[in-house]
A and B are shown apart, each in its own frame.
Chain A
């Protein structure tokens, strides 16, 4: 086979660069240059109306002294903690159910539906369902004799509620990913274990979960990184409130940059988040030992 190809061994030089040119322009202007420029902007005071003034580390020192920023960081971590474990457990449960009993395309289609809706739409749906007094959830709580809950309207419940809304939106999609992972586990393992008298529960812990690890790692790493950037749901439900209860990092960055026009301050927090996410990704790669596989 190599004969023909070997004649082209030299190089496709110019042609190749023409193929790449458009994507390179897009990559340079909307990824690489902005990523660098974000750091540059973070060292300035700039409201986009008058020219940027050099600020040195002023934005960063402001950031480290800003209690709202620290709170936003705390809230963001809390959100991830509310969101990820429950979402992952539910998704794995759904995937196992589909894999063992009900993997039809209809079920998968229904479960993935929330993920296909714009997050803005999902936020509005739940804003209405959770409305105090008129919302169906409140009405249902009263009908079964429970006290009504303020949900998005209270400092203590708003953040877990946002997490719940996003679990509703993403668990089906994650279940589909886990389902795909389960399809790769040889059925013969289950048959052998079944002959040995192992229960479904034992099989889950001894076969399914260990062999699913690469997929679990992938799903957890990407959903954690995504959760740290939660924005859309908050934009249409709580806009950061009540008080600072849902003022997560990306929302705070948005407020500072695009409502207060403190581009430099917004950019410094964005840089911080970039570094933070890099570290978190590295730690997770370590924890999940993503390089190895158990399916030898």
Chain B
């Protein structure tokens, strides 16, 4: 009897194993396909701009050099850069990085602060029209970005805010419906007893908000902060429209403009990939430093 069972189990085991092996092969292949392009960017960025044409399949940098970085970061004169195989244009990474940091920081703090104020009011304060107004905010979640694009551009243009930081951050600085919604949902779940003591002490709503609500909302604020950071950091269309001037040009817009500037017939691939590699650094660093929190935040907020 024992033999019979184990033989049967063995057969099932084997069939399952075959399926599992295939599944594992596909799984590992997908992970490799996910990672390989990033290596390829780095490999190209460290390759000589002429060598890269001679040996396109080498897995390691060909004619390894840091010239591309010097060139793209503007540490070479235009003549030197052309001699090194690039165009005369520079990517001005540091200025674009500074601009991205300014824009993202403003949006991050503005949007989250003002949205948490609103979220608290919707969760806890009583006023006429609260439910109606909240419902209208929710409908804002469903307005696709392309619908507000033209009027928002027209407004920023009329205000004379094209190519300014205020123009870049304005549509995202005071709120997004998602941020208000997300924080309101979280704050609804905070036990009301936490506020009762303060209410008895006669504390005003803003004091309660500042001293009680914000501190216990830390995890939600961090989660939302990570989501807003990547949204803002990766945003392209809006900065591409309103912030083309080099003084305010953020990383994504700078890369796209750099690409259009390179000669059409034979683009400056090593230069372009160096700019791309530099632009990848902040996101990868973020993931390395706070990987678990990033993954969990996106996982959590994605399903809200």
Contacts and interface: CB of A to CB of B under 8 A. Distances in A.
A9 interface: yes
B303 A215 contact: yes
Contacts of A15: 125, 204-206
A266 B151 CA distance: 11
Nearest to A258: B241
A101 B21 CA distance: 12
B291 A173 contact: no
Nearest to A222: B302
Contacts of B295: 105, 108-109, 112, 176
Contact of A41 (B150, B206, B286): B150
A35 B196 CA distance: 41
B126 A8 contact: yes
A94 B33 CA distance: 13
B161 interface: no
B236 interface: yes
Contacts of A250: 146
B174 A93 contact: no
Given A22-B118, A134-B52, A177-B302, A274 B143 contact: yes
Contacts of A235: 236-237, 240, 256
B126 A16 contact: yes
A68 interface: no
Contact of A121 (B177, B193, B276): B276
Q: How large is the interface on B (under 10, 10 to 19, 20 to 34, 35 or more residues)?
A: 35 or more
A136 B56 contact: yes
A229 B38 contact: no
Interface string A248-277: 001001100110000100110011011001
Interface stretch (A24-32, A56-64, A153-161, A286-294): A24-32
A116 B287 contact: yes
Interface residues of A, number: 104
A38 B151 CA distance: 6
A17 to B, nearest CB: 7
Nearest to B100: A118
A5 B196 contact: yes
Contacts, number: 288
Contacts of A267: 150-151
A110 interface: yes
A125 B173 CA distance: 31
Given A119-B236, A126-B37, A235-B236, A1 B287 contact: no
Interface stretch (B69-77, B78-86, B152-160, B215-223): B152-160
Q: Which interface residue of B12, B150, B177, B180 has the most chain A CB atoms within 10 A?
A: B150
A105 B127 contact: no
B150 A266 contact: yes
27 contacts: A4-B199, A5-B196, A5-B199, A12-B126, A13-B127, A23-B115, A23-B174, A25-B174, A29-B155, A31-B143, A109-B292, A113-B38, A121-B252, A124-B272, A125-B38, A125-B276, A128-B41, A136-B40, A136-B57, A172-B34, A176-B295, A176-B302, A181-B303, A229-B145, A231-B237, A258-B153, A277-B144
Interface of B: 12, 15-16, 19-20, 23-24, 26-27, 30-31, 33-35, 37-38, 40-41, 44, 52-53, 56-57, 114-115, 117-118, 120-122, 125-128, 130, 133, 136-137, 140, 142-155, 157, 170-171, 173-175, 177, 180, 192-193, 196, 199-200, 204-206, 209, 230, 233-237, 240-241, 251-252, 255-256, 259, 269, 272-273, 276, 279-280, 283-284, 286-287, 291-292, 294-295, 298-300, 302-303
Interface of A: 1, 4-5, 8-13, 15-17, 19-20, 22-27, 29-35, 37-38, 41, 48, 90, 93-94, 97, 101-102, 105-121, 124-126, 128-129, 131, 133-136, 139-140, 143, 168, 171-173, 176-177, 179-181, 197, 199-201, 215, 218, 225, 228-229, 231-232, 235-236, 250, 253-254, 257-258, 263, 266-267, 270-271, 273-274, 277-278, 281
Chain A to chain B: the 3 pairs with minimum beta-carbon distance, closest first: A26-B174, A34-B151, A23-B118
